[in-house]
Structure 1
Amino acid sequence: MTRARGPEGALTKRCTCTDPATGKRVGSRCPKLRRPGGGWHPTHGVWGYQLELPIRATQPRRQLRRSGFDSRDSASAELRHARALLDLADGDHDLAVQVGDLLHVCRPGSPLPDRDAVAARIRAGVPAAVPTTTGEYLTVWLDGRRGLAEKTVRGYADHIRLYLIPHLGQVPIQSLRTGHLEAMFTAIGRQQDEIRAARASADPDVRAKVKGVRPMGASSTQRLYATLRKALNDAVVRAKLIPANPALGIELPTARRPKARVWTAKAVEHWQATGKRPSPVMVWMPAQAGRFLDYTEGHDIVLYAMFLLILHRGLRRGEACGLRDHDVDLDAGYLTVVQQITTVGYKPITRHVKSDAGDRVVPLGPKTIAALRAYLDMRRRWQSVSDGTWPDSGLFFVRPDGQPWHPQTISDRFDHLVAKAGLPPVRLHDLRHCAATYLRHGGADMKEIQEVLGHSTIGLTSDTYTSVILDHERGRADAAAELIPRDDAAA
């Protein structure tokens, strides 16, 4: 039996009895649904309701139909809840359609959206109809991000595509809990352990399966967590989808910045025997840095001045590539770091340096100035034979044809020179560590090193970019012992 239907909806009661003649269910026509006096039977059949939903001009008719309620009161209460959600539109047809969209995707047995949460979204001016899964929300969230650096957007996209959607994508955003996130990070950690084990395997076939695959370290895991935390915080504050951020309860291993270590004779011997570096961040002894510059001057004069500048003054790769002619004043003896050329994927991107501290003036010494003057003389010779095709890039360091350097090409050339020179390996970025270490040994204080390198805090400079050159510290190694009096006879 069904009450009259209309815009306010209708309550229904039906059962699963079948017609003996046809074998088909009789549904609401079953005579057992009512007592002999006409009242509803208290135990036979289940209650349900149906409600017409607003539609767009191009949409067919659609209804919200729900059943399985044990009592008329429970079915009636949910019908009133659904009508209250539609009433939030307050006569706005487009908004009513959005609320209808929200109701139409509700799965049978799942609760209807919370009225207060939907009302808060409407007051905030955001769409009432929202993605039902975490994956859909993350996709919409990324598409709506504005004013971010292209590299940041690329990082968010990679995190969402590679990790968040595979692990969390099918979880309804309103049902997302801290446990889901903890399970994801546990699974990712297990996967990274498997990659590390495969890379260390004695079986070449096993190693080949993970060739080129870098496991996530603590720092990368923290960046993934930061993306997730930001996205879910926006789901709380901006989208009003969830009442609290479940990522705030997550505890992850602290990402410790690796300490710089020096390529001492003992460290080189160990590396030659095992192929292992003492630290991801390695610093050449001054003699090793000199060998590199001597070899580069004889074998790659085109890039010699750039590498010398990085070693002497600690510029980042992107800062050296993005250095402009008018940023360099050799007569006054300084250069200004303002912009950098970085990469997103393999695409070069020119942008302002990443912090106010990075926008800095760097003084130049006589040896550095002499090398840069020699480079400019060489560049003028390149331009003189270019037959008028020399591009006006405005950049200080350019290729012999006048075109900008690709940052990855600089790194590749550097690695090639280090290997050919027979030197223990360092990364191009480690030349900054070298510069900081040499400055410290030369008497510069931490504040001066911080300003030259363009760090935002002196703690970053102290903790990461300075390392002790052991051979030059031996004079103070016995300082404590000399202060302690001893009985010569007893000794």
Structure 2
Amino acid sequence: MNRQLLGASRKSDNSGEGAVFKRCSCKDPDTARRLNAGCPKLYRAGGGWHPHHGSWGYQLELPHHPGRPRRQLRRTSGFALREAATAELDHARSLLDLAGTSPQRREIADMLAACKRGTPLPDRDTVAKRVKAGVAVHTDKTTGACLAMWLKGRRGLAEHTMRGYSDHIRLYLTPHLGDVPIQDLNHHHINAMYDALDERNADIIAAKSSPDPRVQASVRGVRPLGASSLQRLHATLRKFLNDMIHTYHLRDSNPAIGIELRPQKKRKPKVWTSAAVARWNKTGERPGPVMVWTPAQAGEFLDFAERHDTALYPLFLLIMYRGLRRGEACGLREHDVDFDDHIITVVQQITAVGYQPVTRFVKSDAGERIIPAGPKTEAVLLDYRRRRDGWRQASGDDWPDTGLFFVRPDGQAWHPQAVSDRFEHLVVKSGLPPVRLHDLRHGAATYLRAGGADLKEVQELLGHARVGTTSDIYTSVLLEFQREHADTAADLIPRRPPAA
């Protein structure tokens, strides 16, 4: 009876349904060959399976590729109980059934055939998600290959965003994580990347301060990755891994979640006070990366720019008076400046991706705004328009119709970087303490707030999405302008003069 059962079991191995069996490692004393399923010790005297001799296994006929030999998923031993072997066999069958008769059935068979002895079979829910999504049910892709696939599949993003993703992948993610199989990537790999980047930062800083000119030259133009840059890099990695889970179904978890990076320190503007200017003249040190001129210094710069750069003076003035971003000023269109209603509409900007200028709409609803021009601002812009009309007449048919308000004397659009370069050149020539072009925008907000405007008005002028952003940036710098009122309370409170 037992041999008949065994024979039936073995006969069913070739039916495609699979079967479970029991075997042992005993050998024939005469031939020294293993008895396997023929060992008499596998059976009790009553005909049932012996519970303590041998182990259970199973085998399952797998779909094969045309022109290739038949193949099986075979586990010849390792299960103490028949139920355990049957459960795994059923698991394997359920995986194949996910794909029905589609080509993905062979992919699942490939995945099962690649499972090594002693390793668990793939999770059914994970494979089911991949089958439903129509993506590969099993992958040995590297993280680098998946990064390239992910970047290629991104659609509808701004060119600046795509450039950021591309740079993060090319410069950091692929060199450090590219060779790791996507399904093996874990938080240890990611932490190792950030450790390596921190070491690289330390090397760059050390080289820049080296007394050896050759060492300094080796890192000329190379900047260490700051906290904000690392946060942006991590955001790219986190987005990529989320898509590997939810879109491509190649992972079940995101190891980037929970990684701790050094916090991003907000760079708040500081004012070029007399003491700060004196120290800068003596040592060349700036009190901070973001600096704001006092109103007197700002006026001195505008006077200098009006004499030495008539083409860009109106643009610099508009940024300083009305707080436009560089790209917004470069992208300002002719019909955006309404002299009849005395308003300026900010809708478009010209930014640089790499060095390539890109024209696009402003990046948020708050950024798209209408602001009053003001009589003094309008007077300068009207004078500029008359001068620009003279340029057009001199150029004749060669004048390009860009539709932009601010253009070069030849009618072409200003490249944003060229505007910044001209500004920095003027600042150096003027002898004023250094500020960035973007700092003129900070100055506009600061002067407006110091003049009595509330935070909501400043927020709307600058195009901030939240008033909290405006408050966080400008509260500290306003203290420098409010020192003249520091004794207001003390002046109102009468005190007895000190005894002689």
Q: What TM-score do the two structures reach when normalised by structure 2?
A: 0.82
Pair 1:90-2:91 in alignment: no
Provide the secondary structure at the position in 2 that maps to 1:386.
helix
Q: CA RMSD in A?
A: 3.6
The CA distance in 2 between the partners of 1:385 and 1:64, in whole Å, is 84
Asked if residue 249 in structure 1 is aligned to residue 258 in structure 2, the reply is: yes
Quote the residue 2:278 is aligned against. Answer: 269
Q: Secondary structure at the match of 1:387?
A: helix
5+ residue gaps in structure 1?
14-29
Amino acid at match of 2:185: L
Structure 2: any 5+ residue segments left out of the alignment? 1-9, 23-30, 43-51
1:207 — aligned with what? 216
Q: Which amino acid in the other structure matches residue 348 of structure 1?
A: P
Say whether the 8 Å CA contact 1:6–1:52 is kept in structure 2. no
Partner SS, residue 313 of structure 2: helix
Inter-partner Cα distance in structure 2 for 1:209 and 1:171: 30
Pair 427,64 (structure 1): closer, same or farther in 2 beyond 3 Å? farther
Aligned to 1:430: 439
CA distance in 2, matches of 1:326, 1:276: 43
2:152 corresponds, among 134, 139, 143, to 143
Q: Helix, strand or coil for the counterpart of 2:183?
A: helix
Q: Identity over aligned residues, as a percent?
A: 56
Is residue 323–residue 339 contact of structure 1 (8 Å, CA) maintained in 2? yes
> Contact 1:33 / 1:40 at 8 angstroms: preserved in 2?
no
Matched, 1:418 2:427: yes
Equivalent residue for 1:369? Answer: 378
In structure 1, distance between residues paired with 2:114 and 2:417: 48
Deviation at 1:314, TM superposition (A): 0.7
Q: Which residue of 2 aligns with 1:259?
A: 268
**Stretch deviating more after TM superposition (400-409 or 73-82):** 73-82
Judging changes above 3 Å, is the alpha-carbon distance between structure 1 residues 322 and 105 closer, same or farther for their aligned structure 2 residues? farther
Deviation at residue 440 of structure 1 after TM alignment: 1.1
Distance 1:410 1:66 in 2: 71
Among 396, 402, 408, the residue aligned to 2:417: 408
Amino acid of the residue matched to residue 418 of structure 1? V
**Residue aligned with 1:343, SS:** strand
Distance 1:104 1:319, change over 3 A: farther
Indicate conservation of the 8 Å contact 1:262/1:467, yes or no: no
Instruction: Quote how far apart the aligned CAs of 1:206 are.
Output: 2.4
Question: Match of 2:124?
Answer: 115
Q: Residue 331 of structure 1: CA displacement?
A: 2.4
Q: Select 1:188's aligned residue among 174, 178, 197.
A: 197
Give CA deviations for 1:173-220 in whole Å, capped at 9, x if unaligned: 333333433333233223223322322333323222221111111111
Equivalent residues of 2:269, 2:473 under 8 A apart: yes
Determine the structure 2 residue equivalent to 1:234: 243
The offset of 1:345, in angstroms, is 1.1
Q: Which residue pairs with 1:16 in the alignment?
A: none
3-state SS of 2:471 partner: helix
Q: In structure 2, what residue type is equivalent to 1:227?
A: T
Residue of structure 2 equivalent to 1:33: 34
Aligned-residue offset at 1:322 = 0.8
Residue pairs, 1:298-317, within 5 angstroms: 298-317=307-326
1:103, 1:112 within 8 Å by CA — same for their partners in 2?
Answer: yes
Aligned equivalents of 2:354 and 2:196: distance in 1? Answer: 26
- Identify if the C-alpha distance between structure 1 residues 346 and 79 changes in structure 2 by more than 3 Å, giving closer, same or farther: farther
Tell me which residue corresponds to 2:164. Answer: 155
Taking a change above 3 Å as real, the CA distance of residues 52 and 465 of structure 1, as seen in their structure-2 partners, is same
Aligned positions of 1:316-465 closer than 5 A:
316-465=325-474
Judging changes above 3 Å, is the alpha-carbon distance between structure 1 residues 384 and 236 closer, same or farther for their aligned structure 2 residues? same
**Aligned equivalents of 1:321, 1:34: Cα separation in 2:** 86
- Distance in 1 (CA, whole Å) between partners of 2:254 and 2:197 is 21
Alpha carbons 2:62, 2:109 under 8 Å: kept: no
Kindly state the Cα deviation for residue 159 of structure 1 after the two structures are TM-superposed: 1.6
Secondary structure of the corresponding residue to residue 301 of structure 1: coil
Measure how far apart 1:340 and its partner are.
0.7
Are 2:111 and 1:99 aligned? no
Contact 1:338-1:353 at 8 Å conserved across structures: yes
Q: 1 CA distance for matches of 2:73 and 2:434?
A: 68
Residue in structure 2 matched with residue 26 of structure 1 by the alignment: none
CA distance in 1, matches of 2:445, 2:238: 34
Q: Counterparts of 1:350 and 1:40 in 2: how far apart (Å)? A: 83
Larger Rg: 2
1:211-259 Cα distance to aligned partner (Å, 9 max, x none): 1111111111111121122222223333333333332222222213211
Distance 1:310 1:385 in 2: 28
